[in-house]
Every structure is written in structure tokens, then in C-alpha cells.
Amino acid sequence: MDQTKVTVLKEKLTQSSHIMVLSGAGMSTESGIPDFRSTGGLWTEDTSRMEAMSRSYFLSNPHQFWPKFKELFQMKMSGAYEPNSGHTFLANLEKQGKHVDIFTQNIDGLHKKAGSQHVYELHGSIQTATCPSCHATYELPYLLQEEVPVCLKVSADGRTCGQVLKTDVVLFGDRVKHFDQVEKSLQQADLLLVMGTSLEVAPARYIPEDAAQNPSIFKVMMNLSETEYDQLFDLVFHERIGDLVKDL
């Protein structure tokens, strides 16, 4: 690892007050969670899974959707994964008094589990589901308990809602969440950390391009492999996030 670059990053982290983070699958793989989009990932193995994970499929086949969803995202393990040193590193920056906005493409909830306070889950969360009818929210233990989780809310006249719940994960055909907050964070940030994403998925991949228009933001890429956006960054590390934050 290039220690000169590590030293520069240390200095920038020390000087920064408002850090913006964009994290992707590479952040979660070090906790043992599969990368669904990398070469050989689950999406590339079977494109029909993409169709089954769509809003239109859920609306048409809600009872068939849930078994497929649970199998694909290994929901039985969803509560067992733990934050890794990358998640802890970001949470510790907050404890040092820095404002850290984390925009994550991951659905595992590990940034929140690590203790970070300002987490925006662009693709939603596997930890909850919501009733499409009455908007009641249910937590992971109930979702795991039922093969097809339905809403248990009882109305004033004594009727149980019974609607099949919709996962709070953003499905194909759903709108990405929290993107209105991205622009606000870009206006305030003095440091951008892109961690564990090859920036292949829109609209998150546009964040570095927008940041490049602001010379006051120091931009850092941390990803195991090269990306087509590397030239937009002031520092680029092709390392495991765990190894890099250990050096930091």
C-alpha cells in the first residue's frame, strides 16, 4: 500500500468537518455478504431473478414473490451479519465530532448497526417491510417468521388488514430513496469517500461527477478494482477497505 497516499488521506480526514460517503457492495462483502452484481454474482447467473425482484412481479404475484425474495437475499442470515472495520471506521469519525453523511447502495443495515447516525439507504433496507394499504411497518423477526408476511393491523370495525407486505428494499421499477438529500450533502461536504462500489448503478454513479464540479471537495475512491470514474478522484486506492482503514 502506498503510504504517501495514506498519509495524505489521514491529513484530509483530520482537516475535514463534513464528510460525504457513498458505499457499495464492496463494503458489505467484508462482512460475508455476497456481491450480487460482480462477475459471477447472483444477478449475472440468472437474469430471470431480476424480473422476480421487480415491483411489477410483486404486484402481480405477491405470494410467489416472498419465497423468491427470501431465498435470493438469504434472509435467514440477514440478522446475523455484523459490521466490519469499514463500518466501524465511519462510525468512529462521527464520534470524533465530524458530520458524516452516508449514502449507501447496500440494504443490509450494517451502517446503522455500527452506530452511524446519518445513513441514507438509497436502495432501502431488508430489515423492514411496509403494508401497501395502511402503511404499517414490520421488523425483520416477523418477516422471517412468516412464509408470506401479511399485515396484522386491526381496523376500528375489527377487520384485520391482511394485505401482503412489501419489502422496504427498492425493487426494479421502484424509485431510489433519499436522492434529494444528496445535493444538500454535496453543497456542505469538504471530503467525499467512495467506498466499495464500481459506480455501475444509476443514479448513485453520478455523485462523483457532480462532486467533480466542486473543487472544494477532496475526492477519494476506495475500491478493490479499477472503475471508469477513477480519473475524477484526487486519491484512488485499489485495496480491501479493511486493510486500508487499518492503516488509517
Measured at the CA of 231, the angle between CA 230 and CA 233, to 5 degrees, comes to: 75
Measured at the CA of 70, the angle between CA 141 and CA 146, to 5 degrees, comes to: 45
Per the residue annotation, which of 87, 111, 123, 135 is the catalytic one?
A: 123
Rounded CA-CA distance 113/109 in Å is: 6
Rounded CA-CA distance 96/151 in Å is: 42
Which residue is listed with cell 440478522?
A: 79
In Å, how far from its chain's centre is CA 91? 15
- Write out the three cell numbers for 123: 436502495
Residue ranges of the annotated binding site are: 131, 134, 151, 161
Instruction: Work out the number of other CB atoms within 10 angstroms of the CB of residue 74.
Output: 14
First to last CA, the chain: 11
- Write out the three cell numbers for 19: 464528510
DSSP string, 123-164: TEEEEEEE-TTT--EEEHHHHHHSSS-B---B-TTS-B--PB
123 is catalytic: yes
Would you name the residues annotated as active-site residues? 123
